[in-house]
Amino acid sequence: MAKISINLSSGELEKTPESDIIIGIDLGTTNSLVAYIHEAKAMAVAGADGKNTLVPSIVHFDESGQVIVGNEAKKYLLTDPQNTIYSVKRLMGKSYKDVSDAEQYLGYKIIDEDTDSLVKIRVRDRFYSPVELSAKILTELKTRIEATLGQAVSKAVITVPAYFNDAQRQATRDAGKLAGLDVLRIVNEPTAASLAYGIGLSPDESKKIAVYDLGGGTFDISILQIQGGIFEVLSTNGDTYLGGDDFDRAIIDFWLEKYHINKNILIDNKKISQQFRVAAEEAKKTLSLDNQYIGRIGEWSCEILKAEFENLISPLINKTLNSCKQALSDAKLTVENIDSVIMVGGSTRVPLVKKTVSEFFNQAVNDKLNPDEVVALGAAIQADILAGNNKDLLLIDITPLSLGIETMGGLMDTIIPRNTKVPAKAGRQYTTSVDGQKNLQVAVYQGERDLVSDNRKLGEFILRGIPPMPAGIPKIDIQFILDADGILTVRARELRSEIEQQIQVKSAYGISEEEMARMLLDSIQYAESDMKIRALLEARNEANNILLSADKFIEQNKTILNEEEIKETKRLTEALRQSVEGDDKDAINLAMENLNTYTTPLAHRAMDANIGAAIKGKKLG
Ligand code: AMP
């Protein structure tokens, strides 16, 4: 167990990386930003204008495939919505099924195949994963700080919401890797916010904190317990579709009603609709300071008083309090147990929000820092601690390389990511890929590369005696248990029959620090090609599954489909089969989408016909 870092230019191992700056990144739904420690103080980095530290999390692709990120990309939201991607954080680590309800909020195309595989976004004739899109935002932040510092940076701490699961955290790590960043740690946003306020920095501190985060489109409340320098998330709650944008919409509705303006104008005229949005946001921000807003939108003069605005938003704020109550109750605490309340997110600048939250928790809230920057500032502080610059803080042992198993197509599936605190325990459920499969081989690997063949094999075993079941039915739980000495126990268990098998390996055994450094260096150097291979293998796996079901589908529904439909389905299936033999993941995705689009209505019809037949066959009464 060790904390190691490498010098990217020389490839040498550095045990005391004081000289290297590690940056802190807040990769947000609406805005992202980067911060670092400058003269012992956390500072967010501004863009070329020297003022604006926020980079809108928006990516635009032009016809030639050129990418722009941030404010420049934001301009295309209205004029070129299909090619302007926003809110990609909502899609990280998610499958089509997970996001089907989010699609109505997004102006671009999510490829919806109603399957369990990870979402892709179609931009022109290319397919992008949320990881690739987030990497573009991270690259922009990396470029920004490199321009400010005049030197290259390669190490980062990135924050994620406390409720992010393993897949979402892994996706965030992958995005960092793809942007050429060695992600030393993924930190919870509320933890970072606490650190920014200096809470939890002393090892003998023991506190319970509420972090209230109201941004543009999302609301989160997290209850944390801090003890001995360790942050534990006791509970989280919130609303993924509640934020400052709703305040803006409430103002627009208020004006439409007050000035008897027909609602349809917002649907028919995008320019006016945008003008209303801009004016409403300006009104809201003005009312954070003044008692009245007077503005003009085309022919209309639009006014609103602070008291009117507060009336409009108080039901929305009350909704956030319900989440706070739930979070407290889940943490088995009451308001009296909370030692500090921290305000995060631009919308906490609204005075009524501050007042209501402060009354609810019965104490003054922490609101001195810029609420848009506090998470990034805290990430920079965490980065500084990792760099070893804050000697007072205890350093916890971490696992230096990721641990995982081999899955379909020779891909590495990481179960315990590198830099996880030890002891650690993590697991995941797998299933069989062939009908009646009796044995499952579990091969354990260590390393950062996407293909297991590029990683280091630690051991393998076979789980035997799985009762015969159709493919996909058995539930096989694989647990990784890493003890404080770096001994890894891997246990596989079929949940129905309870058969079990395990091995023990010493993960750090026989590997020199130089070798470890080389593995990390390779993972960065080959990140892009690895990602491409992974995307291709995943597309192929998915396509092969679809091909199997397409053949079955034609066979089973010969009588329901007409000749033309059978012919076209076969033609599209053949096209997919051919694309699978090639190396172009976009061609495979396109062929899958074509086949899927064509067969979905046929599948519905076949299902209806089969149900009809089943009912007919039953005797009634
Ligand atoms: P975030 O997602 O944390 O960047 O928060 C952005 C939200 O904060 C947007 O809805 C902004 O309109 C809102 N916001 C920013 N500044 C203010 C302000 N001065 N008063 C009220 N809301 C604000």
Mutate to test the pocket of ligand 1, among 58, 251, 284 (most ligand atoms within 8 A of CB): 284
Quick one: pLDDT at residue 558? Answer: 84
Q: Top-level CATH class of 403-525?
A: mainly beta
Residues with Cβ < 8 Å from 359, sequence gap 6 or more?
A: none
CATH number of 201-241+325-371: 3.30.420.40
Q: What is the 3-state secondary structure (H, E, C) of 377-422?
A: HHHHHHHHHHCCCCCCCCCCCECCCCEEEEEHHHEEEEEECCCCEC
At the topology level of CATH, where does 244-311 sit? Actin; Chain A, domain 4 (3.90.640)
* C-alpha 245 – ligand 1 centre gap (Å): 8
Is the pLDDT at 9 greater than 80, yes or no?
no
Quick one: pLDDT at residue 161? Answer: 92
Average pLDDT estimate for 542-570: 87
- Give the separation between CA 175 and CA 401, rounded to whole angstroms: 17
Q: How far is CA 157 from the centre of its chain?
A: 15
What does pLDDT average to over the chain? 87
Tell me how far CA of residue 170 lies from CA of 23, 167, 173, 186, 227, in angstroms: 19, 5, 5, 9, 26
The DSSP bridge partners found for residue 214 are 219
23-193 and 201-241+325-371, same CATH topology: yes
The DSSP bridge partners found for residue 292 are 305
Average pLDDT estimate for 203-211: 91
3-state secondary structure of 495: coil
Is the pLDDT at 4 greater than 60, yes or no?
no
Tell me which residue has its CA closest to atom 8 in ligand 1: 346
* Active site positions, annotated: 26, 89, 189, 213
Which atom number of ligand 1 is nearest to the Cα of residue 31?
Answer: 4
Residues with Cβ < 8 Å from 475, sequence gap 6 or more?
A: 429, 431, 494, 495, 496
Tell me how far CA of residue 562 lies from CA of 271, 558, 565, 567, 575, in angstroms: 48, 8, 5, 9, 20
Question: Could you count the other beta carbons within 10 Å of the beta carbon of residue 337?
Answer: 13
Which atom number of ligand 1 is nearest to the Cα of residue 284?
Answer: 21
* C-alpha 33 – ligand 1 centre gap (Å): 15
Q: pLDDT per residue over 336-347, tens digit each? A: 999 999 999 999
Percent of the chain with pLDDT over 70: 90
Q: Which CATH number fits domain 23-193: 1.10.1040.10, 3.40.50.40, 1.20.140.10, 3.30.420.40?
A: 3.30.420.40
- Give the separation between CA 19 and CA 535, rounded to whole angstroms: 36
Question: Could you count the other beta carbons within 10 Å of the beta carbon of residue 491?
Answer: 18
Q: Where along the chain do its domains lie? A: 23-193, 201-241+325-371, 244-311, 403-525, 529-615
Q: pLDDT per residue over 389-398, tens digit each? A: 765 544 345 6
Q: Top-level CATH class of 529-615?
A: mainly alpha
Q: What is the pTM of this model?
A: 0.73
The pLDDT confidence band at residue 555, using thresholds 50, 70 and 90, is confident
